[in-house]
């Protein structure tokens, strides 16, 4: 009695023009053991390489397990030998492998094996859908969904596991994908400088709300965000270029916080500057109120008057510092006046300009003398006899003088 004995069918073929025949493959049925009256057997399939010998390529044993090249094993039995729908892939010679279980309510359970038929650690369940909704789902040993991928391409991580859901999936411009928090470590960066864009860029962005185009993207529903083409036109740094050949693919929503932070900082600086101006004006108002209060203390019913000198001084001081308007010796001095019409009994000026043509006092007198019109001297009403003179030459002056 011996193992590995039985019958074999060999297949051959002519291999040359001389008619030589060589064995190209065989099928054999042999005993698995040498035990008396035990006829458990296996089916062996063998092939031949050119110049080689007939070599076993696949074996089906008496329990239905399949072995390839005398190493990898596919088994449908558990470690205790019971038939429960397991499919085991293990290395030959007791090497490690993995197993598949299709008896867990429509789920395929994938586990690891430390040795043939001995499973070393708990596996994960994988589902390809529930019969009506095509979906790829992976759940852990406790039955919690860890990952879902639906037919529209939507990927969800940590459906009910808040620990996983608190993290993100980051895909940066360099093509580096990071499962977990997007890194901000300094060692991964170079050429660091302050952000050059801020509030002015934010003003140009157009937030929108919209409905997803289900025919093109598979998503549905009303949503909000930006238009990628518009964002790129404002500043390409804010756009995502993950398409073929660096084509526009979206907006860097996860990096917008940097731009928003810069905008808030600029707003804060503007508010601080305005606060300083308001504080200065408030101080001047306090001074004015103090002056008025001081005058009120000097007010007596018998005099029926109030000294307004200090009040007037405070007001004129504020006009000088804030509006550049000066009261001096009964005259109001203003740097520049823009008006449609001036009505006055008398206007004193060094030069009269109409359009771009200006004349001085002497030039105006010469014109009047030439026309035979007497000129007046001030407000006395006296006149002087015109004397022969040459016609003055009046040259238009440049704008603004």
Residues 78 and 105 in one domain: yes
Please count the residues of the chain. 401
Per-residue pLDDT of the chain (401 residues; tens, 9 = 90+): 789 999 999 999 999 999 999 999 999 999 999 899 899 999 999 999 998 899 999 999 888 888 887 765 665 554 444 445 555 555 544 444 555 555 555 555 555 544 444 444 455 666 665 556 677 777 776 767 777 777 767 677 664 433 443 445 555 444 444 444 566 788 888 999 999 999 999 999 999 999 988 888 767 789 999 999 999 999 999 998 877 788 998 999 888 999 999 999 999 999 988 888 888 888 888 878 787 777 666 555 444 444 556 666 767 777 777 667 777 766 777 767 777 788 888 878 888 888 788 888 888 888 888 887 666 655 444 445 545 545 555 555 554 44
Residues 148 and 74 in one domain: yes
Residue 103 within any structural domain of the chain: yes
Q: What is the pLDDT at residue 81?
A: 45
Residues 279 and 223 in one domain: no
Q: What is the pLDDT at residue 141?
A: 66
Coil/strand/helix, residue 137: strand
Residue 258 within any structural domain of the chain: no
Cα gap 246→133, rounded to integer Å: 34
Residues 52 and 90 in one domain: no
Residue 259 within any structural domain of the chain: no
Q: What is the pLDDT at residue 131?
A: 55
Q: What is the pLDDT at residue 306?
A: 47
Residues 142 and 164 in one domain: yes
Q: What is the pLDDT at residue 197?
A: 95
Residues 238 and 298 in one domain: no
Domain boundary among 251, 286, 315: 251
Coil/strand/helix, residue 254: helix
Q: Which domain holds residue 364?
A: 339-374+388-401
Instruction: Specify the number of domains making up the chain.
Output: 5
- DSSP states of 54-68: EEEEEEE-TTS-EEE
pTM for this prediction: 0.38
Cα gap 394→382, rounded to integer Å: 27
Q: What is the pLDDT at residue 106?
A: 53
Residue 213 within any structural domain of the chain: yes
Residue 128 within any structural domain of the chain: yes
Cα gap 200→83, rounded to integer Å: 71
Residue 295 within any structural domain of the chain: yes
> Which two three-digit tokens encode residue 224?
């909000």
Domain boundary among 185, 218, 251: 251
């Amino acid at each position: 009695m011996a193992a590995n004995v039985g019958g074999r069918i060999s297949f051959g073929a002519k291999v040359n023009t001389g008619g030589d025949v060589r064995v190209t493959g065989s099928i054999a049925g042999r005993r698995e053991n040498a035990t008396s009256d035990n006829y458990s057997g296996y089916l062996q399939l063998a092939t031949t390489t050119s110049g080689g010998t007939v070599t076993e390529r696949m074996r089906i044993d008496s329990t239905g397990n399949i072995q390839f090249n005398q190493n990898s094993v596919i088994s449908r039995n558990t470690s205790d030998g019971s038939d429960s729908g397991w499919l085991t892939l293990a290395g030959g010679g007791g090497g490690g492998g993995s197993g598949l279980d299709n008896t867990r309510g429509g789920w395929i359970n994938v586990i690891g094996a430390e040795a043939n038929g001995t499973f070393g650690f708990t596996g994960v369940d994988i589902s390809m859908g529930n019969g009506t909704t095509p979906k790829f789902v992976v759940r852990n040993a406790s039955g919690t969904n860890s990952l879902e991928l639906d037919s529209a391409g939507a990927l969800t991580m940590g459906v009910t596991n808040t620990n996983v859901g608190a993290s993100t999936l980051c895909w940066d411009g360099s093509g580096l994908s990071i499962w977990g928090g997007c890194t901000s470590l300094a060692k991964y960066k170079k050429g660091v400088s302050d952000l050059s864009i801020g509030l002015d860029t934010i003003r140009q962005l157009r937030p929108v709300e919209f409905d997803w185009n289900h025919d093109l993207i598979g998503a549905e529903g009303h949503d909000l965000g930006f238009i990628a083409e518009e964002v790129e036109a404002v500043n390409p740094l804010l756009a995502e270029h993950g398409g073929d050949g660096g084509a526009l693919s979206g907006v860097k929503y996860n990096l917008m916080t940097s731009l928003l932070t810069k905008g808030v900082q600029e707003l804060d600086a503007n508010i601080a500057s305005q606060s300083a101006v308001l504080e200065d004006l408030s101080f001047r108002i306090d001074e004015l109120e103090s002056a008025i209060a001081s005058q009120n203390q000097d007010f007596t019913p018998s005099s029926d008057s109030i000294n307004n000198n200090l009040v007037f001084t405070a007001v004129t001081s504020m006009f000088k510092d804030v509006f550049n308007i000066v009261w001096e010796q009964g005259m109001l001095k203003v740097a520049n006046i823009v008006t449609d019409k001036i009505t006055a009994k008398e206007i004193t000026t060094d030069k009269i300009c109409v359009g771009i043509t200006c004349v001085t006092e002497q030039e105006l007198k010469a014109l009047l003398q030439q026309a035979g019109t007497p000129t007046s001297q001030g407000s006395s009403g006296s006149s002087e006899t015109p004397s022969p003179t040459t016609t003055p030459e009046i040259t238009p002056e440049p704008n603004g003088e």
